[in-house]
Amino acid sequence: MTHRHDRLIDVPGLARVEGEGAMHVRVRDGEVEDVRLEIYEPPRFFEAFLRGRRHTEPPDITARICGICPVAYQMSACAAIEDACGVTVPPTIAALRRLLYCGEWIESHVLHIYLLHAPDFLGYDSALDLARDRRDLVERGLALKKAGNDLMEAIGGRAIHPVNVRVGGFYRTPAPADLAPLRERLRTALDQALETVRWVAGFEFPPFYHDHEMLALTEPGRYAIESGSIVTTGGLEFGVRYFERHVVEEHVPHSTALHAHLAGRGRYLTGPAARYTLNQRWLSPLAKEAAEAAGLGTQCRNPYRSIVVRAVETVYAVEEAIRLIDAYEPPPFPAVPVPSRAAAGYGATEAPRGTLFHRYELDADGMVTSARIVPPTAQNQAAVEDDLARFVAGRLDLDDHLLTHQCEQAIRNYDPCISCATHFLDLHVERS
């Protein structure tokens, strides 16, 4: 028999995710008894060593949390510090920040689509194996990712941990001539992004759906990236400063990451599928057309189809970057003054993987006295574990090897960013 009543499946190292995590599934008497997504990386204590730092430092420090989405941490930190200090940056600086963020969306989404997730759908163990048979696909993905990296380098100073971002704006701003070559590369990238949507829309998606409440920023009139208020599919709507009233974090024994839930409501999901479900009407006409042609409706509740949503968001980010470059006017000053004061500030932006919240408290000397950071992956853990439990329950007839492989793919649907590393699987399966 390939399916016993009592089974224990342990995957001590998940493959093709950013960071180090494990999966534990226990089946007893033919029923799923326990499912855990175990985050075992040591705590990194960023919130602790932000205390005692000057109010100008969080953007540089928090960028080191993630090498895949450092801009998300910088933008959420800037938003929170500027909120505490009562400063609003002018539209020209805000537009340049959005342009930088578009670069991160492009490079992060494309990394996930081509190198981490597509191999699952195409029957390959890794992107290296895919490249041996379909070099053209991987090269297209790398070229599209480079367009995002180039955008981050031009505005942020470098693609990994940008050095040009500061509270109040930037250390220097590009001249229009600096962005002109990027525009031409982005025109090519737009064609590649549209081809990516058509490509992933042809994958085979298991008929698996969830009923989680979904949460994202929304900004009427445009697709929310670097600003907005928070809404959920359950009808909640609140300002970023009230995030901690509605989102509760708690320790769980099996993870060094906190689990989050909506107060009085339970688990929820943030990320591309949530963003699309809550904001698809604000996509550009071209991105909407691509979504419709790919078979996406007004919402996405099949986690496997999140790869299609990421591809559609890539189209939007490329197109938005072109629009912002065309409209670019260098601000008169690269940054506005942000004098410190004793206050608390709140910021949230849409990282590639979902809503990223920051809160800082400052004293009268501009020193950080308290910090809180709530990343998307921590918010999603409870929903991922619930999905895994239902997923396993419907596939108990599979042998351990195939069930393990399919569970790993199910986790990769959410593109968990445990830290910034990728390693291959060391598999151990124990039956009882």
Known binding residues for Fe cation are: 69, 420
Both tokens of 167, joined, read 């509270």
The residue type of 373 is: I
CB atoms within 10 A of CB 97: 24
Residues making up the binding site: 47, 66, 69, 373, 417, 420, 423
Provide the pairing of β-strand 354-362 with 368-374: antiparallel
> CA 403 to CA 397: how far, in whole Å?
9
Beta carbons of 1 and 15 less than 8 angstroms apart: no
Q: Cα separation of 286 and 335, whole Å?
A: 33
**Which amino acids are annotated as binding site for Mg(2+), given as ranges?**
47, 373, 423
Of 302, 271, 321, give the one whose Cα is nearest residue 150: 321
**Cα 313 from Cα 302, distance rounded (Å):** 17
Axis-axis angle for helices 272-279, 306-326 (nearest 10): 70
Strands 31-39 and 354-362: unpaired
DSSP-derived secondary structure letter, 348: E
CA-CA distance, 9 to 266, in Å (whole number)? Answer: 27
Binding residues for Ni(2+): 66, 69, 417
Strands (DSSP E) found in 223-342: 229-232, 237-238, 247-250, 259-262, 268-269
Residue closest to 37 by CA, chosen among 56, 53, 60, 20:
20
Residues 6+ apart with CB under 8 A from 123: none
- Residue 163: name the closest of 152, 151, 147 by CA: 152
